[in-house]
Amino acid sequence: MKFLLDDEQAEFGRTLDRMLTSAGAPAAVRAWGGGDTGPGRALWKRIADAGVFALAVPEEYEGMGPLPVELAVSFIELGRHAVPGPLVETVAAAVLLGGPAECLDTSAAQRWLPRLASGQAMASLAMPAGGPYALDMDTADVTFVVGQGETELHTASGHGTVQPSIDPARRLAVPHIAGGVPLVSGADVGAATRTAADWAAFATAAQALGVGLALVERTVAYAKQRTQFSTTIGAFQAVKHRLADALIGLEFARPLVHGAAVALAGKSPDAGAEVAAAKVAAGDAAYAAARTALQLHGAIGYTAEYDLSLWIRKARALRSAWGSPSACRARVLAAPGG
């Protein structure tokens, strides 16, 4: 038993943090939301070069994975820096194509996985478990679609109207299947889809945890310098206690995210429930952190021009993505051990 990141894993997180800090992620988020995906794509390439997408791609397809613990470390940092784009979808697509390769068509894996690992291709993904929409289809290089019944995997041929999310850096669209390339069909698609959905929920949970951590970090910094009634507001007990509660939520979501990573790494039969627990806890904690951040910043936090808004809106969007709180809670109780 060593339920602790090793030095290499912790250093990987710090390296990503430094890279994303120097890259100035907020400007890329704003550009992405405004339709200019250039800076976001440049950031995407740097994230790929750091090895993040390769963590979900098996070694035989030029990846390093699957390495869910390292993936949790990276997605916490991606969330902390509010990185835009179909990050979760690209990882889940890699798992869909690569994980159960023995039961799926390897030609699709050979074609796409090395490109996903290297950052040359950005993938979106729609599966019944994630609802009708695919994220950022207008920007992604390919969108994979699993149809109802989970017996067929296609690439999308196009998409319906692009619809804004509550998070301006996310755009949603319903993929068109007709005319897309069928990749594989059969009962095995179902098993592969369920595994990919677990990874999507898992990566979303880690990303949400990072979003929540950023919200608390930024609010603590603000509370230390903002003065009212001749006192730094961070000295008020009401302010301290809200931030303490936000931190408690996040610090107890973190071990669930790590626990889900361990369960996925070991292909545990309880992995789905562990992921669902992590998704509930991280989603709730990030959302509570967003409410606290907004309240303690006051009116400035309620403006779009202030960077805090990037995380506040993302916290809400991630709560619904890849498994609603209620669906995840039901899953926790449906677990074999539960």
Instruction: Decide: 1 and 262 in contact? Cβ < 8 Å.
Output: no
Closest distance to another protein from the beta carbon of 236 (Å): 6
- Residues 21 and 36: their CA atoms lie apart, in Å, by 20
Q: Which of 24, 179, 269, 338 binds another protein (CB under 8 A)?
A: 338
330 belongs to the binding site for another protein (CB under 8 A): yes
Q: Which of 161, 230, 237, 299 binds another protein (CB under 8 A)?
A: 237
271 binds another protein (CB under 8 A): no
Of the candidate residues 11, 182, 186, 252, the single one contacting another protein (CB under 8 A): 252
Question: Which of residues 60, 231, 302, 303 is near another protein by CB under 8 A?
Answer: 231
Residue 148 interacting with another protein (CB under 8 A)? no
> Per CB under 8 A, does 324 bind another protein?
no
CA distances from 70 to 119, 223, 229 (A): 17, 32, 46
Q: Are 213 and 80 in contact (CB under 8 A)?
A: yes
Q: Which residues, listed in sequence order, are joined to residue 228 by a DSSP beta bridge?
A: 231
Omega into 66 within 30° of 0, i.e. cis?
A: yes
Kindly indicate which of the ranges 87-95, 152-160, 242-250, 314-322 contains the residues binding another protein, using the contact rule CB under 8 A.
242-250
Binding residues for another protein restricted to 176-215, rule: CB under 8 A = none
Distance CA 209, CA 253 (A): 7
Radius of gyration of the chain, Cα coordinates, nearest whole angstrom: 19
Q: How far is the CB of 2 from another protein (least distance, A)?
A: 5
| Residue 58 DSSP symbol | B
* Exposure b/e, 300-311, CB count within 10 A at least 16 = b: ebeeeeebbbbb
Comparing CB distances to another protein, the nearer of 235 and 300 is: 235
Applying CB under 8 A, does 115 fall inside the site for another protein?
no
CA distance linking residue 262 with residue 257, whole number of Å: 9
Residue 333 in the binding site for another protein (CB under 8 A): yes
Q: Is the CA virtual torsion 140, 141, 147, 150 positive or negative?
A: negative
Please tell me whether residue 298 binds another protein under the rule CB under 8 A.
Answer: no
Tell me the closest approach of the beta carbon of residue 337 to another protein, in angstroms: 9
> Using CB under 8 A as the criterion, which residues of the chain lie in contact with another protein when the complex forms?
1-6, 9, 69, 216, 220, 223-224, 231-232, 234-237, 239-241, 243-245, 247-248, 251-256, 258-259, 261-262, 274, 277, 280-281, 325-326, 329-330, 332-333, 338
